[in-house]
Chains A and B, each alone.
Chain A
Amino acid sequence: MAFYEQIKMYKDFDFESFLNKVTVQDVENVLAKEKPDVWDFLCLLSPAATSHLKIMANIANDLTIKNFGRVVLLYTPIYLADYCLNECVYCSFNVKNNFKRSKLTMEELEKVASEISRTGLKHVLILTGESREKTPVSYIEECTMLLRKFFTSVSVEVYPLEKLEYERLGAAGIDGITIYQEVYDEVIYESLHKSGPKRNYHFRLDAAERAAEAGLRTVSIGALLGLNNFRTEVFFTGLHAQYLQKKYWDIEVGVSLPRFRPHLGNFTALAPVSDKYFVQALLALRIFLPRCGISISTREDPLFRENILPMGVTRMSAGVSTNVGGNLRHGETKSQFEISDSRSVAEMRDMLKSKGYQTTFVDWR
């Protein structure tokens, strides 16, 4: 059964009515349980649960320390190219945006990799837009083989691939993928992805499974918060993660909570998510999925990232630039979105230490 079958089960379910009927007592009952089920998870995403964030935070903190310790993995993204055929209204790389596109040559990538590896980082995530012509699998493969000389773990956040292509990247040294559905609501999905291959909701939804079947070790998923009501989007994210954990026992499933950030263009969030609701989403996910890795990117500002650190976070990005080539091409290329936390790797490590957390740079080799 593909995950879409589970989504379909909620087609006629009245989320709003359920969420509004949840009482404070219901929330307290859920918090007393050892193993919350999917309905309990939804209760934790309800308006009533918003008044219980302190208790939820303590539970989330305990679960995180028990399962992961006081340890945070640092990684950084590398933007390889910004060529893209998709018209996603919330993204700078939108095909309709007119700017000079580029991709890194192997010589440039080597310089970028060398610079990043000097900071001590060992895990990197490589990104491209969706263009099989400009950035085919062979290009990603070539980049991977080069990067593996510098880093112990390289994962991809690229357009969804076929299983055989994931196998090919696995053989080249890729050990995981990140693929955000962006929005699980199909109608909204269609309205936000106006043209391009990304319009294929199902091909994207099943990408995580194809990667797992291809033998990749880690799969990270998420919804872009701000595109739809966060309560249902986070619910489906959690459900999707649980589905992957149950079906593919041997992979590490992670979730991210990317929150919509300003970008090139004039799209504004359809359903902005406040800090309070963001925290609620994070806590509900941690309590529902105690073994799930949770990544918080530089989309969030430094103080906020520090404050939510004990509430379930296991991975953070550092020393980030969201344009092709990073510092190498500073000012020449466009950022995919604006970042809020521009701290270096050393600054992040010092911050983590001051909070009683160990930074880890290596979690696989």
Chain B
Amino acid sequence: MKDRLVIGNVELSSRLFIGTGKFSNNAIIKDCIKSSGCSVVTVAVRRIDFETPEENMLQFIPSDCVVMPNTSGARNAIDAVRIARLAREAGCGNWIKIEVISDNRYLLPDNYETIKATEILAKEGFVVLPYMNPDLMVAKALMDVGAAAVMPLGAPIGTNRGLRTKEMIRILIEEIDLPIIVDAGIGRPSHAAEAMEMGAAAVLVNTAIATAHDPVAAALGFSFAVKAGRLSFIGGASKAELYAQASSPLEGFLDSLQ
């Protein structure tokens, strides 16, 4: 059976999503997309220079990639809704990643406002992918109000600390019938592989690629890790053992039972 990932009626060819912030120039973003074969690219609407063609980041994104505008800079649901509508009017399609952040120190998402924005935008026909702090009840609420996927953070954004919220994400993967896309905190390909092995539908990487010494090579590395992790999830990794398997007195006793 083919391993498919479909979001908003679009079948995605890759389970690696890339963010476009923090790059030293827009042309590198294009090369990273190419090297990694990623299928979804998120762009902060507040950073798109619609009026100046040569500065407009969108022109660097290949046409076969899904552009997922994000509401970076929104401090509440009202801001997020306004930014989403602005993106759609500007021709950025109907996907929207909700980012509502009212905390400028840790950049943690505001789950409550995120639910509100998701509800409004889903009703307006957007394909809504909310970025959230992994919480089961919030994820259920997001599903109920029409989210197309849920994007829990692995660690605070930009920290490259890996899957610090692993246990919570594991619960979301088990309980929520939507694609779970791990966003934020993934600092190394091994982190991405770990998320995929757990059963995440995809991962979104930005800082770790954008600020790497060689972003194009880093993007390629992440794409391999995502594939490897996914194949491990599908194939079923065999159980790890702490010690070599020798027969123990306990087992000897069990063997002796008639």
Query: Which of B22, B45, B105 contacts A68 (CB under 8 A)?
Result: B22
In the bound complex, CA of A246 to CA of B104 (Å): 9
Identify which of A77-85, A136-144, A250-258, A265-273 touches chain B.
A250-258
B211: A residues at CB distance < 8 A: 65-66, 69-70
A229 at the interface (CB under 8 A from B): no
A/B pair count, beta carbons within 8 Å:
74
Tell me if A361 and B22 are in contact (CB < 8 A).
no
In the bound complex, CA of A356 to CA of B104 (Å): 26
In the bound complex, CA of A69 to CA of B102 (Å): 21
Tell me if A70 and B49 are in contact (CB < 8 A).
no
A252: B residues at CB distance < 8 A: 104
A264: B residues at CB distance < 8 A: none
Tell me if A362 and B46 are in contact (CB < 8 A).
yes
| Distance to closest chain B CB from A58 (angstroms) | 14
A362 in contact with B49 given A67-B158, A249-B104, A250-B103 (CB within 8 Å):
yes
Nearest A residue to B102, CB-CB: A250
Per-position contact with B for A308-345: 1 when CB-CB < 8 Å, else 0?
00000000000000000000000000000000000000
| Distance to closest chain A CB from B215 (angstroms) | 10
A67: B residues at CB distance < 8 A: 158
Query: Which of A69, A120, A250 contacts B104 (CB under 8 A)?
Result: A250
Tell me if A66 and B158 are in contact (CB < 8 A).
yes
| Distance to closest chain A CB from B25 (angstroms) | 5
Query: Which of A249, A253, A364 contacts B103 (CB under 8 A)?
Result: A249
A358 at the interface (CB under 8 A from B): yes
B23-47 interface with A by 8 A CB criterion? 23-26, 45-47
A305 at the interface (CB under 8 A from B): no
Tell me if B103 and A120 are in contact (CB < 8 A).
no
A70: B residues at CB distance < 8 A: 22-24, 211
Query: Which of A68, A245, A358, A365 contacts B26 (CB under 8 A)?
Result: A358
In the bound complex, CA of A362 to CA of B73 (Å): 12
B89-109 interface with A by 8 A CB criterion? 101-105, 107
Tell me if B105 and A246 are in contact (CB < 8 A).
yes
B54-108 interface with A by 8 A CB criterion? 55, 73, 75, 86, 101-105, 107
Query: Which of A249, A357, A358 contacts B105 (CB under 8 A)?
Result: A249
Query: Which of A120, A249, A253, A361 contacts B102 (CB under 8 A)?
Result: A249
A240 at the interface (CB under 8 A from B): no
Tell me if B47 and A291 are in contact (CB < 8 A).
no
| Distance to closest chain A CB from B54 (angstroms) | 9
B118 at the interface (CB under 8 A from A): no
Nearest B residue to A218, CB-CB: B104
In the bound complex, CA of A69 to CA of B72 (Å): 15
In the bound complex, CA of A245 to CA of B103 (Å): 9
Tell me if A364 and B46 are in contact (CB < 8 A).
yes
B52 at the interface (CB under 8 A from A): yes
B200 at the interface (CB under 8 A from A): no
Tell me if A120 and B21 are in contact (CB < 8 A).
no
A69 in contact with B24 given A122-B49, A217-B75, A363-B47 (CB within 8 Å):
yes
Total contacting residues, chain B, CB less than 8 A: 29
A112 at the interface (CB under 8 A from B): no
Total contacting residues, chain A, CB less than 8 A: 29
B101: A residues at CB distance < 8 A: 250
* Residue among B24, B104, B158 having the largest count of chain A Cβ atoms under 10 Å: B104
In the bound complex, CA of A66 to CA of B212 (Å): 10
B223 at the interface (CB under 8 A from A): no
B111 at the interface (CB under 8 A from A): no
A253: B residues at CB distance < 8 A: 104
In the bound complex, CA of A68 to CA of B210 (Å): 10
Nearest A residue to B110, CB-CB: A250
A363: B residues at CB distance < 8 A: 46-47, 73
Tell me if B52 and A69 are in contact (CB < 8 A).
no
In the bound complex, CA of A246 to CA of B101 (Å): 15
Nearest A residue to B22, CB-CB: A69
| Distance to closest chain B CB from A95 (angstroms) | 37
Nearest B residue to A365, CB-CB: B46
B47: A residues at CB distance < 8 A: 360, 362-363
| Distance to closest chain B CB from A60 (angstroms) | 14
A250: B residues at CB distance < 8 A: 75, 101-104
Tell me if A251 and B49 are in contact (CB < 8 A).
no
| Distance to closest chain A CB from B155 (angstroms) | 13
Tell me if A120 and B52 are in contact (CB < 8 A).
yes
B48 at the interface (CB under 8 A from A): yes
Nearest A residue to B160, CB-CB: A66
A362: B residues at CB distance < 8 A: 46-49
| Distance to closest chain A CB from B192 (angstroms) | 18
B105: A residues at CB distance < 8 A: 245-246, 249, 291
B133 at the interface (CB under 8 A from A): no
21 contacts between A and B (CB under 8 A): A66-B158, A66-B207, A70-B22, A70-B23, A70-B211, A71-B24, A122-B51, A217-B75, A246-B105, A250-B102, A250-B104, A291-B107, A356-B24, A358-B23, A358-B25, A360-B47, A361-B55, A362-B47, A363-B46, A363-B73, A365-B86
Interface residues, chain B, with chain A CB atoms under 8 Å away: 21-26, 45-49, 51-52, 55, 73, 75, 86, 101-105, 107, 158-160, 207, 210-211
Closest 4 CB pairs of A and B: A69-B22, A70-B24, A250-B102, A249-B103
